[in-house]
Each structure stands twice: as structure tokens, then as C-alpha cells.
Amino acid sequence: MDKLTAKEEDIMMVLWELERAFVKDIVSKLSGKNHYNTISTIVRNLEDKGYVAHQAFGKTHQYFPVITKEQYSKTFLATAMDGYFENSYKDLVSFFAKEEKISAKELREILNLIENK
């Protein structure tokens, strides 16, 4: 699975939310200025990468995700774990704790989930 650019991820987030969309629908959901042709090109690139497929309606295409958000999340997390945390979930959680991105309460909830599995 190829890594997505930030703009590709933005488009995938819209497709995961809408489930099926025409390019005009994607453009309207994205924040900021987005040119229709640029988004159309990126969506076709996502199709080439195997992330989306389309259903043709005459000359227009309705796009839908082929990869689930969960599948992408697992791949992205695995890449981050390997590249930044040497495959150590302890280091990952420690990073968030040091950056104050996770509270003690949330850590206790995580421990509770682990202990009750």
C-alpha cells in the first residue's frame, strides 16, 4: 500500500465519510480553495494506487473507497511505529504522555482495556 500525501489523505477522509461521491462533492467538502481539475487528478491517482474505484455515469464518475479507513490506519500506524518508535508501543505512549497529548485518566482506560481482554 503506497503512502498517501496530505491532500490524498484529505480526499480519502471525505470519501470514507460520504462512502460514494462525485468530484464536485469532494471539492465542496474540502476546506480551502480546491480547483476541480486538481482534485479530479488526485482522485484518479488514488484510483491508480488502488485506494478508490469508480462507477461511470456517462462521462462522470462516482468514486468510492476500496480501502477502509481501518486498513489504512493500521498501515499508517505500522509505518510510524517502525520509523519513529522502533516498534515499541511503550515508546509511542511515552511520547504522547511527554507531549501531554494523553491524560492519566486515558492511560488508566487503556490499561483497563488491556487487562479486560
Q: What is the pLDDT of residue 93?
A: 85
CA distance to 12, 19, 62, 105, 108, per residue, from 69 (Å): 8, 11, 19, 27, 26
| Single pTM value for the model | 0.78
Residue type, 24: K
- Residue-wise pLDDT for 101-111, tens only, equals 888 898 899 88
Q: What's the CA gap between 50 and 18, in Å, rounded? A: 18
Q: What is the pLDDT of residue 19?
A: 97
- Residue-wise pLDDT for 12-31, tens only, equals 999 999 999 999 999 999 98
pLDDT at 33 over 90: no
Q: For the chain, give me the number of helices (H) and strands (E)?
A: 6, 3
Q: What structural domains and CATH numbers belong to the chain?
A: 6-65 (1.10.10.10), 85-115 (no CATH)
Residue 10 pLDDT class (50, 70, 90 cuts): very high
Q: How many CB atoms lie within 10 A of CB 85?
A: 16
